[in-house]
């Protein structure tokens, strides 16, 4: 048995699956494949599996990670093939790597890159937005909705263009258990600080997850 | 790209109800098929996806290259609102296409309280609700399933019904539909004539005229088309073992009610409980061979990745291959860490030992269907369970560490007296005594005994099809009476809402005149009647009275044997003569043995199948 790190993503077809449903879906996929889970010891054994950061409903992804204990003699490439064969269409596994003990700590993930497509009334001037000294928006926390300055948590933000009423914005934001900033919250700041800008709908894709600006694998 | 559907789905609960794309869902190129078929289940996704019949018909039809069968379910209220606000029509899950121009839509009729959803779904599809108002440009609409045996209240909505088991019927129907399409879809009537003439078990309601007496009873049911039979006989799969069962199963993303592999071990039941429609309409009992089932189990588990499997039948203990099947299944489940659930099992040493061996069984929740409180009344309904059985079983259960026992009863049964009702708390009391008689160290620490009572609804094609249902007042009195007589706080008593049972009682033995009331009720907002949060009894009663009908005429009225019943032109094999004899035996408190002990001549032998013809070896095992 060994620990694997897996990099995977999902497209529009399966983006409405909740985190828990995804976990169950993955369990079943492993049961359908040639792979076998490593089960936890104890009274109620369950597969050993850690997902870096739950993907919110309606968000697609090109770079999510999980660590999972699998019993298999297959090569890294074959593990990828097995999972792609066993998962429903819409999920893609990009990479797998057998890990040495304690290698890569997914809880250290602190940044993520997103591309948001925003259906809006007019283009938001991102440069002007970023010239503000602070960006205070109501943000959901465990103890309720509180005002929070999100500016220090926007590491990069870039306007990728505006066509047919849709503005596309790339952003690198705080992510993980420390401070998690969602692209929708940035859009809320755009609405608050850019006069006349009103977002009707935002579609988000998570592109990458990073530890201190470094690729995970 | 942002689509309207994306926006809508971001706002509704449980969006994967509407996305399709699950593992093993079938996708085809619509332009490469001759027939687009919508399998419609008039309830929400989680209910629909738990239904075995859907899995069977879906995979049966999709084995055909010329047919693309997709799933079509009732959207939950939030989704329906979004769809109506945005002019989005009812769509199929696989392709996302509107069903408005599909070739055929088949509704499964599982319970009467889903009728309103059928009307609502057609409305959402912008398809005229009444069959007579639909031209050839609309899909053919048909219904099947248990309620099709008396679908008169919704007869005006449907072009035809399929009576009985569909595995062969659907193929024959697709062939005829395809040919009719090729001939240029000349007239719907001509298609229906071809179907009625060539496919056994197809009932075209418009080919029969119903006349009524002044008192509202049926005067006559007359055939008005020479292409249709006088009486329509249901269809069965005579050789159940070789009946194709799907070897693949769709795996939903979200949790559904029956989220597991279901193995249909047999069809029909040999017990002959006199209240039970399923027990009569699915006759005769037919079994699959254990080897066949083990093969199916293996392929269903490996294609789905499910970690639970359950046996499906009306009475698993009567399955002659049970020891062999469970032996084989346990090998699979123990090796792969798979849970095995065994519903409809009699509790004895064999089944207890079995349950001990089954993985993942939490020692909770064992249910006994006692149905009635006294032996006298259980004899009336021919429920072959004795008090000694129940007490001996609970003794075994408590010693084995089980803690929760549920007992099911019906109230409002024919000949029922208050003494019979008192038998319900009495059994609970005796079970408590059993528990306390066990030495402390040998019994479970805490127990819960729940007794629940539902209201008896008389159904067509049962021995009690003539019986006048108890009034709601009487049912509520009986509920109170039992509650007042519960002797201990350790016994919990619950009962079902009597108003839904009453409406079910109106429809189950209803006639064609009720259709107007259903359409009216839906116009006034009735839907999802099986869901407490939607059910609006007063609205329903208003709709029925406003259509000039009396609900008590259907639910509460005792019929005489010579009255023409609205379903008399349907032949399920079991004869009216037999049902009358059973009803008379019930009144005398006489029981009828099960089919394996002795044939009682019910009429189902006309199908020449299953238990009616089975040969047994010296030990009694079916060969």
- CB B189 within 8 Å of CB B174: no
- Res. A140: pLDDT tops 90: no
User: What is the pTM for the complete model shown?
Assistant: 0.95
Q: CATH topology of B260-359+593-623 equal to that of B362-508?
A: yes
Distance between CA atoms of residues B529 and B504, nearest Å: 10
Question: Considering only B310-319, B478-487, B522-531, which range has the smallest mean pLDDT?
Answer: B310-319
Q: How far is it, in rounded angstroms, from Cα B274 to Cα B380? A: 8
* Chain A residue at shortest CA distance from B298: A32
Cβ-defined contact of A119 to B23 (cutoff 8 Å): no
Q: Of the candidates B140, B43, B62, B61, which has an alpha carbon nearest to the alpha carbon of residue B101?
A: B140
> Is A201's CB within 8 Å of B16's CB?
no
- For residue A167, give its domain range: 109-215
- Which of B618 and B365 is assigned the larger pLDDT? B365
For chain A, how big is the Rg over CA atoms in Å? 19
Q: Can you read off the two tokens belonging to residue B618?
A: 């010296």
Q: Are B24 and B56 in contact (CB under 8 A)?
A: no
pLDDT at B618: 61
- Of the partner residues B9, B301, B307, the one whose CB lies closest to the CB of residue A16: B9
pLDDT digits (tens, 9 = 90+) for B275-307: 999 999 999 999 999 999 999 999 999 999 999
* Predicted pLDDT at A142: 79
Co-location of A68 and A116 in the same domain: no
* A70 close to A37: Cβ distance less than 8 angstroms: yes
CB within 8 A of B305, min separation 6: which ones? A27, A28, A29, A30, A31, A32, A86, B23, B251
- Contact across the interface for A88 and B15, Cβ inside 8 Å: no
Start-to-end CA span in chain B (Å)? 61
Supply the DSSP string of B170-199, one letter for each residue: HHHHHHHHHHHHHTT---HHHHHHHHHHHS
Task: Kindly state whether residues A122 and A201 are assigned to the same domain.
Answer: yes
Share the mean pLDDT of chain B: 94
CATH of the domain at A183: 3.30.70
Tell me whether residues A14 and B19 touch, CB distance under 8 A. Answer: yes
| CA distances to A114, B19, B21 from A54, in Å | 14, 20, 21
Q: Please tell me whether residues A96 and A84 are part of one structural domain.
A: yes
The residue of chain B with its CA nearest to that of A39 is: B337
Q: Confidence class of residue B621 from pLDDT cuts 50, 70 and 90?
A: low
Could you read off the pLDDT of B407-443 as tens digits, one per residue?
A: 999 999 999 999 999 999 999 999 999 999 999 888 8
Q: In angstroms, rounded to a whole number, what is the distance separating the alpha carbons of residues B164 and B572? A: 8
Q: Searching chain B, which residue's CA lies closest to the CA of residue A12?
A: B6
Alpha-carbon separation of residue B210 from B193, B559, B565 (angstroms):
19, 18, 11
Decide: B73 and B20 in contact? Cβ < 8 Å. no
User: How many Cα neighbours within 13 Å face the side chain of B529?
Assistant: 28
> If pLDDT is split at 50, 70 and 90, which confidence band does B352 have?
confident
* Residue B362, pLDDT above cutoff 60: no
Q: Is the pLDDT at B620 greater than 80, yes or no?
A: no
Residue of B nearest to A90 (CA): B21
Asked whether residue B348 carries a pLDDT value surpassing 80, the answer given is: no
Beta carbons of A21 and B306 less than 8 Å apart: no
Do A47 and A70 lie in one domain? The reply is yes
Contact A90 B304 (CB under 8 A): no
Q: Which fold has domain B362-508?
A: Transcription Regulator spoIIAA (3.30.750)
Report pLDDT digits (tens) over A95-123: 999 998 778 899 999 999 999 999 999 99
The CATH number of B4-233 is 3.40.50.280
* Residue B519: pLDDT band with limits 50, 70, 90: very high
Q: Could you tell me the pLDDT band of residue B201, with boundaries at 50, 70 and 90?
A: very high
Across chain A, mean pLDDT equals 94
Closest chain A residue to B20, measured at CA: A13
CA dist B99 and B135 (Å) reads: 15
- The more confident residue out of B440 and B461 is B461
Number of domains chain A is built from: 2
Are A28 and B9 an interchain contact pair (Cβ–Cβ within 8 Å)?
A: no
For residues B343 and B316, the answer to whether their CB atoms sit within 8 Å is yes
Residue B607 — very low, low, confident or very high, per pLDDT cuts 50/70/90? very high
Q: Kindly list the distances between the CA atom of residue B606 and the CA atoms of B197, B267, B478, B609, in Å, as whole numbers in the listed order.
A: 20, 16, 41, 8
Residue B531 CB neighbour total at 10 angstroms: 16
Type and span of the H or E element at B371: strand B366-371
Q: Which helix (H) or strand (E) holds B329?
A: helix B322-336
Contacts of residue B162, defined as CB under 8 A and 6 or more positions apart, other chains included, come to B106, B142, B143, B144, B148, B169, B170, B173, B201, B202, B203, B235
B232-251 confidence digits (pLDDT tens): 999 999 999 999 999 999 99
B473-501 average pLDDT score: 95
Rg (CA), chain B: 25
Q: Is the pLDDT of residue B382 over 90?
A: yes
- How far lies B612's CA from each of A134, B238, B371, B596, B605, in Å? 83, 11, 27, 8, 6
Q: What is the pLDDT of residue B402?
A: 82
Domain ranges of chain B: 4-233, 260-359+593-623, 362-508
> What are the helix and strand counts (H, E) for chain B?
20, 19
Cis-peptide into A6, omega within 30 deg:
no
How would DSSP label each residue in B255-294?
Answer: --SS-SEEEE-EES-SS--TT-HHHHHTPSPEE--HHHHH
Q: Which residues have a Cβ under 8 Å from the Cβ of B331 and sit 6 or more positions away?
A: none
Residues contacting A176, CB < 8 A, separation 6+: A53, A107, A108, A109, A110, A111
Q: Identify from A16, A163, A164, A203 which residue to disrupt to test chain B contact, counting B C-beta atoms within 10 A and taking the largest count.
A: A16
H-state helical runs in B400-550: 418-437, 472-484, 498-508, 514-523, 537-546
For residue B154, give the nearest of B163, B143, B145 by alpha carbon.
B143
For the B260-359+593-623 domain, the top CATH level (class) is: alpha beta
Q: Is residue A205 domain-shared with residue A143, that is, in the same domain?
A: yes
Q: Do A101 and A184 belong together in one domain?
A: no
Residue B447: per-residue pLDDT: 86
B305 closest CB neighbour out of A31, A58, A119: A31
- CB environment B51-80: b (16+ within 10 A), e (fewer): bebbbbbbbbbbebeebbbbbbbbbbbebb
Q: pLDDT at position B334, please?
A: 82
Chain A residues within 8 A of B247 when measuring between CB atoms: none
Last residue of a domain, one of A107, A138, A171: A107
Please tell me whether residues A45 and A82 are part of one structural domain: yes
Q: How many CA atoms lie within 13 A of B620 on its CB side?
A: 5
Question: CA angle at residue B598 from B596 to B600, to 5 degrees?
Answer: 115
Question: Would you give the DSSP letter of residue B312?
Answer: E
Determine which of A12, A15, A28, A32 to mutate to test the interface with B (most B C-beta atoms within 10 Å). A32
State both tokens at B138.
């609309």
In angstroms, the CA B192 to CA B195 distance is 5
Q: What is the pLDDT of residues A14-62, one digit of tens each?
A: 999 999 999 999 999 999 999 999 988 887 778 889 999 999 999 999 9
For B303-323, the pLDDT digits (tens) are 999 999 999 999 988 999 999
The token pair at A186 is: 């940035």
In whole angstroms, give the CA distance from residue B211 to residue B233.
Answer: 22
Q: Are residues A118 and A35 in the same domain?
A: no
Residue B322 in tokens: 């049970």
Cα-based angle B600, B603, B604 (whole degrees, multiple of 5):
100
| Better pLDDT: B447 or B162 | B162
Residues A75 and A147 in one domain: no
Best of A20, A23, A24 to disrupt the B interface (most B CBs within 10 Å) is: A24
Tokens 């639910």 sit at which residue?
B555
Residue B156 · residue B115 · CB < 8 Å: no
Q: According to the model, what pLDDT value does residue B397 have?
A: 85
Element (H, E) at B208: strand B208-212
d(C-alpha A103, C-alpha A211), whole Å: 13
Domain C-terminal end among A72, A107, A142: A107
Q: What is the per-residue pLDDT for B583?
A: 98
User: How do residues B462-480 score in pLDDT, each as one tens digit?
Assistant: 999 999 999 999 999 999 9
For A69, counting Cβ atoms within 10 Å of its Cβ (0-12 exposed, 13-18 middle, 19+ buried), the class is middle
A 10 A CB-CB count for B354 gives 20
**pLDDT at residue B511 greater than cutoff 60:** yes
Q: Give ipTM to 2 decimals.
A: 0.92
pLDDT recorded at residue B396: 86
Model confidence pLDDT, tens digit, residues B85-122:
999 999 999 999 999 999 999 999 999 999 999 999 99
pLDDT digits (tens, 9 = 90+) for B208-228: 999 999 999 999 999 999 999
pLDDT at B614: 84
Instruction: Examine the fold and report which residue of A54, A84, A107 is the final residue of a domain before the chain moves on.
Output: A107
- B177, B104 in Cβ contact below 8 A? yes
B21 Cβ contact list (under 8 Å, min separation 6): A13, A14, A88, A89, A90
d(CA B594, CA B575): 17
Put simply, the answer to whether B23 touches A88 (Cβ < 8 Å) is yes
Share of chain B above pLDDT 90, in %: 85
pLDDT of res. B445: 81
Task: In whole angstroms, give the CA distance from residue B466 to residue B565.
Answer: 9
Running DSSP on this structure, what letter comes out for residue B251?
A: B
Q: Which of A31, A58, A88 sits opposite B21 (nearest CB)?
A: A88
Length of chain A equals: 217
Tokens 């937005």 belong to A129
pLDDT greater than 70 at residue B619? no
Interface of chain B against chain A, CB under 8 Å? 2, 6-7, 9-10, 15-16, 19, 21-23, 251, 253-255, 301-307, 336-337
Cα angle at B323 between B317 and B327, to 5 degrees?
Answer: 130
In DSSP notation, B3-15 reads -HHHHHHHHSSSG
- CATH code, domain carrying A42: 3.30.70.580
Contact at 8 Å (CB) between B32 and A196?
no
Same domain for A118 and A195, yes or no, is: yes
A82 and A142 inside one domain: no
Are residues A117 and A196 both part of a single domain?
A: yes
A41 secondary structure, DSSP code: P
Q: Which of A94, A108, A62, A104 shows the shortest CA–CA distance to A208?
A: A62
pLDDT band of residue B18 (cuts 50, 70, 90) is very high
pLDDT at A1: 62
B15–A201 CB contact, under 8 Å: no
């Amino acid at each position: 048995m060994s620990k694997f790190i897996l990099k995977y993503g999902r497209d529009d077809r399966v983006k409405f699956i909740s985190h828990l449903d995804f976990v169950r879906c993955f369990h079943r996929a492993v049961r359908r494949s040639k792979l076998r889970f490593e089960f936890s010891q104890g009274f109620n054994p369950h597969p050993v599996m850690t997902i870096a950061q739950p993907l919110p409903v309606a968000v697609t992804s090109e770079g999510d990670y999980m660590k999972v204990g699998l019993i298999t003699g297959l090569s890294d490439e074959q593990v990828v093939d097995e999972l792609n064969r066993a998962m429903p269409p819409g999920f893609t596994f990009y990479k797998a790597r057998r890990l040495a003990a304690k290698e890569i700590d997914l809880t250290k993930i602190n940044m993520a890159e997103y591309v948001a497509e925003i259906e809006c009334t007019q283009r938001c001037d991102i440069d002007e937005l970023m010239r503000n000294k602070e960006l205070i928006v109501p943000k959901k926390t465990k103890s309720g909705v509180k005002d929070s300055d999100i500016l220090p948590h926007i590491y990069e933000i870039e306007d990728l263009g505006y066509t047919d009423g849709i503005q596309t914005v790339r952003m690198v934001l705080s992510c993980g258990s420390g401070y998690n900033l969602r692209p929708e919250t940035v859009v809320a700041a755009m609405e608050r600080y850019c006069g006349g800008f009103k977002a009707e709908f935002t579609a988000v894709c998570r592109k990458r997850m990073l530890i201190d600006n470094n690729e995970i694998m | 790209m942002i689509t309207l559907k994306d926006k809508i789905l971001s706002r509704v609960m449980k969006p994967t109800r509407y996305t399709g794309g699950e593992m093993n869902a079938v996708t085809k190129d619509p332009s490469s098929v001759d027939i687009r078929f919508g399998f419609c289940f008039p309830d929400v996704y989680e209910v629909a996806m738990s239904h075995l019949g859907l899995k069977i018909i879906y995979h049966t039809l999709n084995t055909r290259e010329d047919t693309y069968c997709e799933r079509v379910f009732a959207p939950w209220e939030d989704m329906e609102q979004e769809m109506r606000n945005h002019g989005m029509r009812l769509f199929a899950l696989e392709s996302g296409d509107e069903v408005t121009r599909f070739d055929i839509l088949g509704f499964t009729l599982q319970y009467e309280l889903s009728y309103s959803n059928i009307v609502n779904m057609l409305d959402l599809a912008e398809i005229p609700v009444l069959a007579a108002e639909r031209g050839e440009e609309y899909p053919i609409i048909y219904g099947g399933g248990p309620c099709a045996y008396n679908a008169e209240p919704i007869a005006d909505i449907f072009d035809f019904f399929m009576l009985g088991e569909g595995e062969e019927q659907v193929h024959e129907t697709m062939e005829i539909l395809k040919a009719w399409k090729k001939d240029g879809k000349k007239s719907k009537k001509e298609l229906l004539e071809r179907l009625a003439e060539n496919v056994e078990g197809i009932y075209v309601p418009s080919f029969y005229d119903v006349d009524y007496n002044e008192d509202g009873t049926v005067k006559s049911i007359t055939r008005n088309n020479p292409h249709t039979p006088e009486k329509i006989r249901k269809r069965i799969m005579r050789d159940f073992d070789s009946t194709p069962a799907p070897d693949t199963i769709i795996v939903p993303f979200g949790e559904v009610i029956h989220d597991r592999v279901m193995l249909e071990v047999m069809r029909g039941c040999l017990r002959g409980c006199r209240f039970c429609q399923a027990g009569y309409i699915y006759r005769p009992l037919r079994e699959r061979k254990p080897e066949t089932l083990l093969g199916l189990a293996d392929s269903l588990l490996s294609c789905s990745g499910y970690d639970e499997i359950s046996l499906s039948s009306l009475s698993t203990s009567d399955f002659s291959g049970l020891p062999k099947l469970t032996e084989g299944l346990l090998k699979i489940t123990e090796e792969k860490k798979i849970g095995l659930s065994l519903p409809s099992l009699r509790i004895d040493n064999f089944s207890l030992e079995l349950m001990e061996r089954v993985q993942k069984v939490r020692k909770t929740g064992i249910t006994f269907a006692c149905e009635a409180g006294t032996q006298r009344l259980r004899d009336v309904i021919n429920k072959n369970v004795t008090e000694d059985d129940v007490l001996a079983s609970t003794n075994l259960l408590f010693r084995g560490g089980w803690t929760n026992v549920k007992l099911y009863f019906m109230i409002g049964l024919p000949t029922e007296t208050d003494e019979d009702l008192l038998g319900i708390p009495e059994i609970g009391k005796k079970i408590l005594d059993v528990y306390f008689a066990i030495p402390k160290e040998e019994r479970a620490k805490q127990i819960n005994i729940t007794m629940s009572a539902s209201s008896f609804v008389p159904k067509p094609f049962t021995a009690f099809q003539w019986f006048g249902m108890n009034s709601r007042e009487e049912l509520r009195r009986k509920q109170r009476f039992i509650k007042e007589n519960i002797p201990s706080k350790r016994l919990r008593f619950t009962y079902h809402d009597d108003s839904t049972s009453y409406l079910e009682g109106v429809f189950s033995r209803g006639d064609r005149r009720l259709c107007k009331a259903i359409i009216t009720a839906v116009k006034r907002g009735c839907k999802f009647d099986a869901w407490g949060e939607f059910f609006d009894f007063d609205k329903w009663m208003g709709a029925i009275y406003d259509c000039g009908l009396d609900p008590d005429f259907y639910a509460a009225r005792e019929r005489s044997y010579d009255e023409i019943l609205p379903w008399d032109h349907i032949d399920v094999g079991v004869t009216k003569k037999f049902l009358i004899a059973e009803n008379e035996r019930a009144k005398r408190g006489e029981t009828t043995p099960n089919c394996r002990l002795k044939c009682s001549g019910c009429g189902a032998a006309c199908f020449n199948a299953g238990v009616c013809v089975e040969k047994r070896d010296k030990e009694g095992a079916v060969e």
